[in-house]
Each structure stands twice: as structure tokens, then as C-alpha cells.
Structure 1
Amino acid sequence: MSGWSVRVLTREDWAVLRAVRLAMLLDAPGAYGSSYAREAAFTEEIWQERTEQPVFLADRADGLPLGVATLLRLDPKDDPEIVAMWVAGHARGGGIADALVDACRERAVADGADRVRMHVMLDNPRAVACYTRLGFDFDEGAEVDGCASMQWRPSADSATMRAENP
């Protein structure tokens, strides 16, 4: 798949974020700890506030959203965490997940992080395989049944470090 890129959403992109998030919740209702009905009722202000954390959107040149991921770091002392990761069904297998994860990791490293965390639903073997392939390891910390905590640390052989040190 070509003709797409990854960008960071701004406050003005709140309607795009809303549309993508609601599509995520319809596509995988048990994966995100929320519901379509709950989030469909959010105000414009809530959606705008959600862009205060870096939200990376993969979209085609014509504006069709292909996937999204948020790099959440509520406290500078905490490790950043990739949350709300989703790739549209028609775009899976096209490198979108890799690009979103790479964008999150690059931002985290640029912001001084030495580790990036994420959670994955164990009943999603495709996601588990993707994150493992991208260098994430299982660690302790999942609080929800069926969910595992994973972490990634930059190293000389990681994709992010290769891109920075050709």
C-alpha cells in the first residue's frame, strides 16, 4: 500500500480523532476499555483535550484514516505508553502498525524515554506477533484478565536507532 503517511493530530483535528476512535470501538468493542455509546457522547472539548498527548494518525493522501496510536505520558516521571492502537481492517498487513509504533517510539526517545510500554489483548495473536516482531517483550503489569503488558527499550539494533544512526 502506498500513498499514505503518519502525522500528529492537532487540536483542530478533533473530529478526525472522534471518527477514528468511534470506528475503533465498533471494530473491536472489547479491546479499548470503553464503549461506543460512552465516547459518542463526549463533547468537542473532550476530543480536543485528547490531542494534548501525541496522537499519531496514518492516513492516505485523500484523507482516509488507516490507523492511529496515542503516546500517553501523564507524568514526566512515568514511562510513555502506546495506547489506543488500531489499524483499519482494510489496511492491515500494509506496514501501518509498524509506522505508528515507530512514530511513537521515535517521539518517546526524542523526549528522553528509555522505555516504552504498551498493553495487548492476548486474544489478538496478530497484535502480539506484531509487537514481538517490533522488539517488545512481555513484562509484569497487566491488571486486566486477558491483557498483557509489554515493553520496548532502545538499543543499537532497534529500528529507531538504525533510522537515527545509518
Structure 2
Amino acid sequence: MNISTIDIRLLTADEWAVFRRVRLRALADTPQFFGSTLAEAQARTEQDWRAALLDRAQFVATADGAELGTVAGLPEPERGGVHLISMWVAPEARGTGVSDLLVRAVIDWAAAGGHTVIRLEVADGNPVAERLYIRNGFVRTGVSGPIRPGDPRLEYEMVHNL
């Protein structure tokens, strides 16, 4: 796969079905790295998917008509900055640079919006993702917590100052 043929684009609410398809694939592929479950996502309605696309910048990576990954930037007015969430790259696209393009899309979008900080959480036991974030300027803050309430799995906060 040639990285120059990869397209990164921002989804609109009318593309809710694309978002749903990619998100369900991500949750089925690597459920251990997400705070939501496949069953929860499958239960969401069209209205839920559309609404989610209205409060975030959801990017999708494609090449030759295939969806290869996704990531979102979610504004956090109460904390200032942006929260990078829902990062996932399809198995066939891992190691091709798609992940860097997706992270860069959120960084560029946040900077263009005047934000000065991006936060994210990376799951314990996911060193590939942590290396991706470090490579793109993120550092651990020392804050950690459960992936979701009642879940023994941990995640670590990372931050990138723009």
C-alpha cells in the first residue's frame, strides 16, 4: 500500500453509515483497547450515529474505496483543548503510516481551531499505540485510570501541547 494513495477525510453527519461500519469493525477487531463495547455500538440508532458526528471531527482513512482507519477529535471546552478518541487502523493497513496520517489530521484540525492542547488515553498493554502517540509529540501525564467504570484494565493519559 502506497501512503500517497491514502485519503484522510472528515465525515459529515450524512456519512453516519460509514462511521458505524468502521466503528463496528474496530470494536470487533480490538475490543480490549476501547471503552465501549461492540454490543453497545450495535444498539445505537441512526440518530445516535448522526448526533455523534455533530459533536466531533471524525476522520476516516480510505484507499481504493476501502476504509482503513478512523480517529476523532472531540472538543473539550470544560478542560480546554481537544480529546483524541476512537483511534483504529485496519489490520491490513497497520505499519503503512495510516495511523500517523490520522493522528496528524486531528493535530492539524485542533491547531486550525485555535486549540492549544490535545489529550488522549492509551490502554495499558498497547505499546504500538503508545509509540505512535510519542512519535507524534504526545507524552504521558502521570494520570491513569480504568478504561471504563468497574473495568480492571488501565489506560494512561497522554498530552500534546500545540
Task: Name 2:159's counterpart in structure 1.
Answer: 151
- Return the alpha-carbon distance in structure 2 between the equivalents of residues 33 and 109 of structure 1: 26
User: Once the 2 structures are TM-superposed, how far is the Cα of residue 37 of structure 1 from its aligned partner?
Assistant: 1.1
Instruction: Please give the secondary structure, in 2, of the residue aligned with 1:141.
Output: strand
Match for residue 61 of structure 2 among 52, 58, 61: 58
- Return the alpha-carbon distance in structure 1 between the equivalents of residues 44 and 107 of structure 2: 29
- Structure 1 stretches (4+) deviating beyond 4 angstroms? none
- Return the alpha-carbon distance in structure 1 between the equivalents of residues 145 and 8 of structure 2: 31
TM-score (norm 1): 0.87
Task: Name 1:117's counterpart in structure 2.
Answer: 119
Task: Name 2:149's counterpart in structure 1.
Answer: none
String of CA shifts for 1:24-78, please: whole Å, max 9, x gaps. Answer: 1101112111111111011000000111110010011x32110100001142652
Instruction: Please give the secondary structure, in 2, of the residue aligned with 1:25.
Output: helix
Structure ranking higher on relative contact order (CA contacts 8 Å, 6+ apart) = 2
Identity over aligned pairs, percent: 35
5+ residue gaps, structure 2: 147-152
Match for residue 24 of structure 1 among 15, 26, 41: 26
TM-score (norm 2): 0.89
Instruction: Please give the secondary structure, in 2, of the residue aligned with 1:59.
Output: strand
5+ residue gaps, structure 1: 155-166
Alignment of 1:64-143 (within 5 A): 64-75=66-77, 78-143=80-145
String of CA shifts for 1:57-111, please: whole Å, max 9, x gaps. Answer: 0011x32110100001142652201000000011001111100111100110111
- The answer to whether the Cα contact below 8 Å between 1:122 and 1:128 also exists between their aligned partners in 2 is no
- Return the alpha-carbon distance in structure 1 between the equivalents of residues 73 and 120 of structure 2: 9
Number of matched pairs? 153
